A and B are shown apart, each in its own frame.
Chain A
Amino acid sequence: MSAGTFDFANVDWSEIGQATLDTLAMLGGSMVLTIALGLPLGVILFLTGKGQMLENRLANGALSLLVNILRSVPFVILLIVMIPLTVALVGTSLGVAGAIPPLVAGAAPFFARLVETALREVDKGVVEASFAMGAKRRQVVLGALLPEALPGLIAAATVTAIALVGYTAMAGVVGAGGLGDLAVRFGYQRFQTDVMIVTVVLMLVLVQILQMVGDAVVRRVSHR
């Protein structure tokens, strides 16, 4: 690697800084909404499943199908297909705001499935014991099921956040801004390899931090 090729002369650090902030904003905004939508969706998927307290084949089948459809559409396609809906929701399909609806649509079903799996891991005996103590369904879900699944839920959120980092980069393709956008416009289209390297390293650092923080929190809340 000679100094002449990679002297980072093409790198505009203020632009990198702005792009990093945009990526963080997309990640933060879509993560909050992904949890807000995906958590209840995952809980309902679990509760309406076979042998569970709200067993309902029709509701479970319909939700499951919706989740599978959203999960089977490649994210790049979802980004484009959703443009009219995105414009209707946030007024634009560009920038951070325009990226958030497709990001949430891509990540929430994924997170919901992980939530469902985490809830299945909870010992059924704990649920039975809660009912035996006179708990209402709501109390069983909020007081026993979700707290017992907490380590699994946090691990699920970590995996989802990391998947979202990748999605934000793809969102750059349709003008969302952020590090992925820089990587595509400068690193790829203008052959500015140094810009590509900086953006990839920054995303790597972001993923690494998310994983470490997620693991640390899981350790903190797990008492098994």
Chain B
Amino acid sequence: MITFKDVSKTYAKGGHPALSAVSLSVAAGEVFGVIGASGAGKSTLIRLINGLETPSGGQVIVDGDDVAALGVEGLRALRRRVGMIFQHFNLLSGKTVAQNVAFPLKLAGRPAAEVKARTAELLERVGLIAHADKYPAQLSGGQKQRVGIARALATGPKVLLCDEATSALDPETTEQILDLISGLNRELGLTIVLITHEMDVVRRVCDRVAVLEAGRVVEEGAVEDVFLHPVSDTARRFVREADGEIVTAPGVGGRLVRLTFKGEATYKPVLGEVARVTGVDYSILGGRIHRLRETPYGQLTLALTGGDVAAAIKSFEASGVRVDDLTGEAAR
């Protein structure tokens, strides 16, 4: 649905590039996350998709169109197929909720009757039908973002771009908005690209994620892979931020390993079983049990001592538990 081919973007001539050599592809119907610190180039990346920015090099292909090659009308047509929501909502303060939602339809020149019906339908979907005649200033942050979502959906887009859509919201509201976004993905088959600096957002809704660092994609993959086995330093940092430090074992002897349980294995009494059979002792140094979208997972950092450590590792692996040796990594 969306392809970045070796895309670069430099704002000032000779200046530092905001993006360099970015290649990505987002499949139709998936929720794709882009995570990065502020200044990493996330905003630029998402704005290249609907042509709010133009690439300095490379190509951005969206729904079959090379965005930079589209004329004015072509770009407007594309933008009706690509909705966008914003961190600060960007609603028109002088228009009511209903008028805000109707705005893109009016811009597209749709007949009044259709605008009215479609607006009501969208407000129903986001649960704001009772607030149709209020002004944005009278709404809570979560309600404002719902208006933003309804407005972005007005023209029936295939793609929804979420620019830090939950960063200005409290945790509870964030959860509700993320649920709404996931629901749109499931029910409408909407392709979603979201940028965020919070790994938690990625974990809750994304299928795949790209990690951006200083304008480059340093890691990309299925969320569970990046989350459970981050390779780049940046990805590790984001995972640690979301879950806390799990590798700290100063002065602990034995073999340091990280076990990753996923799906069914999460709930099995694997640890005790293996310890009994192989005579290995373990001390738990850190751990977490969580969910990636619908999949439960657990990670434990253990120091294994005594008995047959090698056999223990084999038995863990045999029960579907991934084992990473951290002995070399503990210094990090």
A130-155 interface mask toward B, CB cutoff 8 Å, 1 = contact, 0 = none?
Answer: 11111110010001100110100000
Within 8 A of B (CB), among A70-97: none
On whether the beta carbons of A134 and B108 are closer than 8 Å, the reply is: yes
Most buried by B among A128, A132, A136, A222: A132
B116-159 interface mask toward A, CB cutoff 8 Å, 1 = contact, 0 = none?
Answer: 00000000000000000001110000000000000110110000
In-complex Cβ contact of B50 among A125, A126, A130, A132 (8 A): A132
- Asked, given contacts A147-B92, A223-B94, A223-B135, whether A128 binds B52 with beta carbons under 8 Å apart, the answer is yes
- Asked, given contacts A128-B52, A224-B137, whether A134 binds B107 with beta carbons under 8 Å apart, the answer is yes
Within 8 A of A (CB), among B36-61: 50, 52
On whether the beta carbons of B86 and A129 are closer than 8 Å, the reply is: yes
On whether the beta carbons of B79 and A150 are closer than 8 Å, the reply is: no
- Per the bound structure, the CA–CA distance linking A128 and B108 in Å amounts to 17
Interface residue SS majority, chain B: mixed
- Per the bound structure, the CA–CA distance linking A134 and B104 in Å amounts to 7
- Per the bound structure, the CA–CA distance linking A223 and B84 in Å amounts to 24
At the interface, yes or no: A215 with Cβ under 8 Å from chain B?
no
On whether the beta carbons of B90 and A126 are closer than 8 Å, the reply is: yes
Within 8 A of B (CB), among A42-70: none
Q: How far is the CB of B244 from chain A (nearest CB, A)?
A: 34
- Asked, given contacts A128-B52, A133-B104, A143-B107, whether A223 binds B93 with beta carbons under 8 Å apart, the answer is yes
At the interface, yes or no: B255 with Cβ under 8 Å from chain A?
no
Kindly list chain B residues whose C-beta atoms are within 8 Å of the C-beta of A150. 94
On whether the beta carbons of A132 and B79 are closer than 8 Å, the reply is: yes
In-complex Cβ contact of A131 among B52, B108, B136 (8 A): B52
- Asked, given contacts A125-B86, A133-B155, whether A148 binds B94 with beta carbons under 8 Å apart, the answer is yes
At the interface, yes or no: A201 with Cβ under 8 Å from chain B?
no
Kindly list chain B residues whose C-beta atoms are within 8 Å of the C-beta of A32. none
- Per the bound structure, the CA–CA distance linking A130 and B91 in Å amounts to 9
Within 8 A of A (CB), among B57-99: 72, 76-77, 79-80, 82, 84, 86, 88, 90-95
In-complex Cβ contact of A134 among B90, B135, B155 (8 A): B155
Interface residue SS majority, chain A: helix
Q: How far is the CB of A178 from chain B (nearest CB, A)?
A: 36
Q: How far is the CB of A155 from chain B (nearest CB, A)?
A: 14
Kindly list chain B residues whose C-beta atoms are within 8 Å of the C-beta of A123. 88, 90
At the interface, yes or no: A202 with Cβ under 8 Å from chain B?
no
Q: What residue of chain A has the Cβ atom nearest to residue B87's Cβ?
A: A125
At the interface, yes or no: A217 with Cβ under 8 Å from chain B?
no
On whether the beta carbons of B93 and A133 are closer than 8 Å, the reply is: no
On whether the beta carbons of B103 and A147 are closer than 8 Å, the reply is: no
- Per the bound structure, the CA–CA distance linking A132 and B92 in Å amounts to 14
Kindly list chain B residues whose C-beta atoms are within 8 Å of the C-beta of A126. 90-93
Kindly list chain A residues whose C-beta atoms are within 8 Å of the C-beta of B93. 126, 148, 223-224
On whether the beta carbons of A133 and B79 are closer than 8 Å, the reply is: yes
- Asked, given contacts A128-B52, A224-B137, whether A133 binds B92 with beta carbons under 8 Å apart, the answer is no
Kindly list chain A residues whose C-beta atoms are within 8 Å of the C-beta of B82. 132
Q: How far is the CB of A203 from chain B (nearest CB, A)?
A: 33
Within 8 A of A (CB), among B174-205: none
- Per the bound structure, the CA–CA distance linking A139 and B104 in Å amounts to 10
- Per the bound structure, the CA–CA distance linking A222 and B137 in Å amounts to 10
Give B residues with C-beta under 8 Å from A.
Answer: 50, 52, 72, 76-77, 79-80, 82, 84, 86, 88, 90-95, 103-104, 106-108, 135-137, 151-152, 154-155, 161
Give A residues with C-beta under 8 Å from B.
Answer: 123, 125-126, 128-136, 139, 143-144, 147-148, 150, 221-224
Given contacts A132-B82, A147-B92, 16 further A-B contacts (CB under 8 A): A126-B90, A126-B92, A126-B93, A131-B52, A131-B79, A133-B80, A133-B84, A133-B107, A133-B151, A134-B80, A134-B155, A135-B107, A143-B103, A143-B106, A148-B94, A221-B94
24 residue pairs bridging A and B, Cβ less than 8 Å apart = A123-B88, A125-B88, A126-B92, A129-B86, A129-B90, A129-B91, A133-B79, A133-B103, A133-B107, A133-B155, A134-B76, A134-B104, A134-B108, A136-B72, A136-B107, A139-B107, A143-B107, A144-B92, A148-B92, A148-B94, A223-B93, A223-B94, A223-B135, A224-B137
